[in-house]
Structures are given as C-alpha cells and as structure tokens.
Amino acid sequence: MALYDKTAHELHALLTAKEISASELTAEVLKRVDEAEDKIGAYLEITRDKAAADAKAVDDKIARGEAILPLEGIPCAVKDNICTKGIRTTCASKILENFIPPYDATAYIKLAAQNPILIGKANMDEFAMGGSTENSAFHVTRNPHNLERVPGGSSGGSAAAVAGGEAVFALGSDTGGSIRQPASFCGVVGFKPTYGRVSRYGLVAFASSLDQIGPLTRDVTDCALVLNAICGHDDMDSTSTAAQVPDFTKALVADVKGLRIGLPKEYFVKGIDAEVETAVRNVAKKFEGLGAEIVEVSLPHTEYAISTYYIIAPAEAATNLERYDGVSYGARVDGADIVEMMTNTRTEKFGAEVKRRIMIGNYALSAGYYDAYYLKALKVRTLIQRDFTDAFKDVDLILTPTTPNAAFKLGEMTSDPLKMYLQDICTVPVNIAGLPGVSIPCGFTSDKLPLGFQLIGKPLDEATILRAAFTYEQIS
Ligand code: GLN
C-alpha cells in the first residue's frame, strides 16, 4: 500500500520507528496531489511551502529524540470555510475570493497544536450550501471512486482528498449532513460531533444553530484521534459546551454486547435505494451477531425534517450573509451609489444557490410570514428533538442509512434543487436535534460505489458511537 493511502495511526508508528520521515511522507502526498488533482480537484489552495517547512520541523524534533504527538507530521486538508490565518479562505465563493483571515478558527488552532501537515484548503459548495460540491464558484470536485460521480457535499473536497490519497485526514463542517454524506459517497469515516463540542469560532457561519466542525478519516481510530484534537470548550464561542471531553481513543473497544441499537422505521421507506437498505440491514444483523440488541424505534416527525431544515437553515444563512455587503468583507463591485454598489456586489459575487437561500430565508423571516414559516419551523424542530429524546429512553444508538442512494452523477441534480434537498433526509434530523452522528463505510453497490451507514448517539455521547463503529470496522 502506498504511504499516502495509510491511516494516521499507521503512519505515526512508521514515523516513531523512524522508518519514514515526515518530509518523505509529505513529499509522497504532494506527488499524489500533483498526479490526482487534475482529475479529482479536491483543493482550492495547496500550501506546498508551508507543508515542506512544517514537515522539516517535525523531522528535526524526531532527530532530537523527542516524542511526537499522534497527528504530528500527518498530512491533512482543511475545508475552506475554516479560517486559517494568512492562508486564503474563500468558502468557495467569489465574494471571499481574496479573503486572507487575520486569525485562525479555534478548531484549527487546536488541530495545529498537534503539528499535522496542512496540504491545503479543500473545495466545497459555496458557503457550504449544497450536497455535491458542484456549487463551488471555482471548480467541481470528482469522486475518486468514479470520476463521473459527485463526491457529495458540501465537504466534498475534504472527503475526496481523504479517499483519493491527497490527505490522510481532513476537517469538514456539517450543517445538514455535509460531513456524513460526502463521507458515505467517498467511502470514508465522517463524524459530526454534538452541537457545541467543537468551537465554531472562525468557521464561516452558514446556519449557526446547526453548523459543526468534524473529522473525515480513513478509519474510526483516526476519527477518535482528530476528535481528541479539536473538541473542547472555547470562550470565543458562546454555544460551545463546558462538558468534559473524554479521551475518545478509550472508546475504541471491540464490544457491543448488551448495546441497544434502534432502527427507526421512518428511515426505511420509499425513496431509499434497495441496495442501501440491504446494506444497512446487514449492518444491523452484524451488530446483532456481536451481541447487540436491535429494536425498532419510531421518530414520527421525520417526514417534516427537510421542510424544517430548509426554513431554519436559509433563515439563519440570510442573516449571516448580510455582512457581505461590499464594505465589511471581501469583494466589491462598484455602483452609482451605495445601494447600487451593494446590489451589484451581491448579484455578481454570490452564486445561484446562495442567492436562492438568501431569498428563501428573508421570505421566511419577513413580517408577514414569520409566524407561518420560521416560528412554525422552530416548533417542529422541538418535536423532532423530542422524537429523539423519546427514542433514546429505550436505545443507546440509532442506526440508519446515511443517504438514500450512493453517489449520483455530476450534473444529475443541478437543475432540480428540490431533488438535491431530498438527499439530506437521513442527515438533517441529527443537526436539527444537535446530536452526534457518524457515517461509516459498509461496502459497495453493484456499480462499485461506496455505501455508508449512520449511527446517531445521545447528546455528548460520541464515545458510544465510536465504540460501535470501531466494533463494526473490526469485523468488516
Ligand atoms: N446539503 C445540505 C444543504 O445544502 C447540508 C449542507 C451542510 O451540511 N453544510 O444545506
């Protein structure tokens, strides 16, 4: 196996044993990037010089006989909506095309404290709005398993980088599935932590009550290592939780005996592809064979999750994106007066999907419609949250498909936004309820496209998810 295809923990062992150097590893990955990037297009910016310099610093540390941290010297990608000081952060938008943040996101500061090697900033749907990375203002990203297919989105660049050997792990963000869905499409592990677990400070805001940063990795062990690095309270984010962060590697125990796993009947309905359903039911059988108890549960408000999400997320987005006015940040397109300048800036520099969300959001928030749409959505949000609270009285975890189908073809859904939105049916309820959820690979379709299943946990119970995911990985 090529070095660039190994996991972080395997590479850590090789670095510690001095069988490879961080510089060699980084050079290998950058070589892979040179070969693959034309086809895959995972990155918006490649931080080549910084990578080489940082790798050398790690090698110097090893040469001095110092111990290295688990992610030290490991090449990674960071989604381009996570602010990196001095490194362009565009959110895949023309409006931020030349934005160089004067500060780092907290999650990136925490990650950087582990001295991984940043290979570059990963492509995404503009402002994280989308599920295919086709909404990037700069270029599309292709699925490394099949270049005719999308990698998913919005963290499609992050997922494709990890699946394509262009980074060993990546950070993404997940507002309605943007870590888990691309992870599923690309055959990697993608974890959305509990809302509040990872600081959102320096994550360019899309929908603030839903956004959460998390890891995309090659296996569950790496996922635990990255979670260890990025979780924790932050005074700069008032929604960040003060809850203690456990050592997530302690959860990597192959044992699900006695664990109660719920299968929600509302997730196995018309619209779910037969191959997806079979794969997820087989996962349930495997868990059962390992001593877990599989029980049917009901999440009765699931059918309202998409409509609820597509009111709340655009409403918050419309508010958050008000700041891109041609004055405070980013690009400006001149006009005769200030109104025309703002209009020109926003018309020219925002892409179609972003404009659509701003319009939906402002409509739902406008005086005449606030009660009928936004307020109603908030009420349904509570009902969806309660569904989970009730289900979790009976089970420890909930098992579902991550997506209704495997990766679709490029261009297949771009003309039909509603169809694209329906792709999020299995993932958005988790954000609406603020819960932790992961997507774990579970085989391939007959067309050799990766499949994934989702495990949803109780609030702040990432550990139980990791334990079950790790157990499954050991036997698959
Ligand atoms: N596909 C969803 C959307 O377009 C989710 C996006 C996300 O999680 N960032 O809103």
Q: What is the pLDDT of residues 141-197, one digit of tens each?
A: 999 999 999 999 999 999 999 999 999 999 999 999 999 999 999 999 999 999 999
Q: Which atom of ligand 1 is nearest to the CA of 357?
A: 10
Calculate the average pLDDT of the chain: 97
Under the banding of pLDDT at 50, 70 and 90, the label for residue 340 is very high
Expressed in angstroms and rounded, the spacing between residue 154 Cα and the centre of ligand 1 is 6
- Tracing tokens 């998390």 back to the chain, one arrives at 214
Q: How much is the pLDDT for 26? A: 98
Q: Which of 154, 173, 184, 240 is catalytic?
A: 154
Expressed in angstroms and rounded, the spacing between residue 341 Cα and the centre of ligand 1 is 29
Residue 30, pLDDT > 90, answer yes
Q: Which atom of ligand 1 is nearest to the CA of 175?
A: 8
422-451 confidence digits (pLDDT tens) = 999 999 999 999 999 999 999 999 999 999
Burial class (CB in 10 A: 0-12, 13-18, 19+), 343: middle
Q: Which two tokens stand for residue 405?
A: 């189908």
Residue nearest to ligand 1 atom 5, measured at CA: 176
Q: Which two tokens stand for residue 137?
A: 């203002």
Q: How much is the pLDDT for 329? A: 78
- Span 131-145, average pLDDT: 98
Q: Which of 132, 155, 178, 240 is catalytic?
A: 178
The reply to whether 208 belongs to the active site is no
Q: What percent of the residues of the chain are helix, what percent strand, and what percent coil, each to the nearest 5?
A: 45, 15, 45
Q: Which atom of ligand 1 is nearest to the CA of 353?
A: 4
Least confident residue range of 74-78, 224-228, 250-254, 265-269: 265-269
Burial class (CB in 10 A: 0-12, 13-18, 19+), 369: middle
- The residue length of the chain stands at 476
* CA-based nearest residue to 320, from 205, 431, 432: 205
Which of 80, 93, 126, 129 gets mutated to test ligand 1 (max ligand atoms within 8 A of its CB)? 129
Which of 79, 150, 178, 316 gets mutated to test ligand 1 (max ligand atoms within 8 A of its CB)? 178
Q: Which two tokens stand for residue 202?
A: 């320096």
Residue 328, pLDDT > 90, answer no
Q: How much is the pLDDT for 330? A: 83
Q: Which residues line ligand 1 (CB under 6 A)?
A: 128-131, 154, 174-178, 206, 313, 424
* CA-based nearest residue to 233, from 110, 388, 72: 110
Query: In the chain, pLDDT over 90 holds for what percent of residues?
Result: 97
Q: Which of 21, 23, 79, 132 is catalytic?
A: 79
Beta strand extents in 132-244 (DSSP E only): 169-173, 189-192, 213-217
Q: How much is the pLDDT for 254? A: 98
Distance CA 11, CA 76 (A): 13
Q: Concatenated DSSP letters for 427-469?
A: THHHHHTT--EEEEEEEE-TTS-EEEEEEEESTT-HHHHHHHH
81-98 confidence digits (pLDDT tens) = 999 999 999 999 999 999
* CA-based nearest residue to 207, from 420, 428, 388, 456: 428
10-17, Cβ contacts within 8 angstroms, sequence gap of 24 or more: 11/73, 11/74, 11/168, 12/68, 12/70, 12/71, 12/72, 12/73, 12/74, 15/58, 15/62, 15/68, 15/72, 15/73, 16/67, 16/68
Q: How much is the pLDDT for 235? A: 98
Coil, strand, or helix at residue 118?
strand
The reply to whether 79 belongs to the active site is yes
Q: Which atom of ligand 1 is nearest to the CA of 206?
A: 9
Q: Residues of 427-445 as b/e, b for ≥16 C-beta within 10 angstroms?
A: bbbbbbbbbbbbbbbbeeb
- Span 359-369, average pLDDT: 97
Q: How much is the pLDDT for 271? A: 87
Q: Which two tokens stand for residue 378?
A: 């908030």
- Span 389-409, average pLDDT: 98
Which of 82, 91, 133, 154 gets mutated to test ligand 1 (max ligand atoms within 8 A of its CB)? 154
262-304 confidence digits (pLDDT tens) = 999 999 988 899 999 999 999 999 999 999 999 999 999 999 9
Q: Which two tokens stand for residue 10?
A: 């395997």
Query: In the chain, pLDDT over 70 holds for what percent of residues?
Result: 100
* CA-based nearest residue to 358, from 112, 132, 93: 93
Enumerate the H helices of 139-234 as residue ranges: 156-163, 180-186, 220-230
